[in-house]
Chains A and B, each alone.
Chain A
Amino acid sequence: MDKIICLGKNYSDHIAEMKEAAPDMPLLFLKPSSVFREIKNQETIPLPWERGLIHYECEVVFKLYKKNIIGLGLGLDLTLRDLQKQLKEKGHPWEMSKVFKNSAICTPIQGVRDFLNWQDTPFVLKINGEVRQESKLSKAILKPNDIIHYVDKFFPICDGDLIFTGTPSGVGPLHPNDLIELQFGPIESTFRLGNENG
């Protein structure tokens, strides 16, 4: 994988909960492949809690080959929210709040045809057994093909790149030892959050 391409503000309900103005088009930003973490079921994933509040954003993930969506996953785009707020206030880039080890967590990728009508398949994030985010890709502002065309205008798309397609409402903070469950059609992954030093 060359990179992870992320969309921001691609769900109206998330824009509303953040109390931010809706842009003409969703925002784009990148995460390097070095922050990617594919979930191994029941594992513990460490995060840098000492750096401040870490927010989850649950998102459908596309895997691309020749600009085709050949696989789907369900991911968590993680954000150091306090730091991001400070950076936004100063008008600085946000990379420092978005790029840290394990800040792009994703289930194993599943072939598109393993889903029935994947754009209308609900995706769910549960934390400690409680549903925190639930939506469908069909509720997003940009539709899948439009996402790829839009990204293609700005970034070179490489085979194996991932697109995190934006998050619906319900984002919030994570805590050490949280039990995370991700469900999307045939995909079910469970893991726990741990400390960076184990």
Chain B
Amino acid sequence: MDNRQLSHDILNILERLRIMHDLIKDNNYEHIPKDELLTDLNENLDLLRTKFDILSQ
């Protein structure tokens, strides 16, 4: 995977994390249930670490 695609993926994950941050900060689980949101959060944090590891190699 080239660095440009990795950067694109990382920015998309950061965008998702920003949205999740806003929803969790506001205690807003009307659209996405809390359990699902926390699962998404963990998955995206793991994915972010993986992508950064590859990018930094």
Contacts and interface: CB of A to CB of B under 8 A. Distances in A.
In which size bucket is the chain A interface?
10 to 19
B23 interface: yes
B16 interface: yes
Contact of B30 (A1, A113, A158): A113
A112 B31 CA distance: 10
A66 B12 contact: no
In which size bucket is the chain B interface?
10 to 19
A66 B32 contact: yes
Contact of A160 (B19, B23, B31, B32): B19
A111 B26 contact: yes
Contacts of A158: 12
Q: Which residue of A2, A63, A69, A70 has the most chain B CB atoms within 10 A of its CB atom?
A: A70
A1 B22 contact: no
Contacts of B16: 65, 159-160
A61 B45 CA distance: 28
Given A111-B22, A159-B19, A160-B19, A70 B12 contact: no
Interface in B1-48: 12, 15-16, 18-19, 22-23, 26, 28, 30-32
A145 interface: no
Contacts of B28: 70, 111, 113
A65 B32 contact: yes
Interface of B: 12, 15-16, 18-19, 22-23, 26, 28, 30-32
Interface of A: 1-2, 63, 65-66, 68-71, 111-113, 158-160
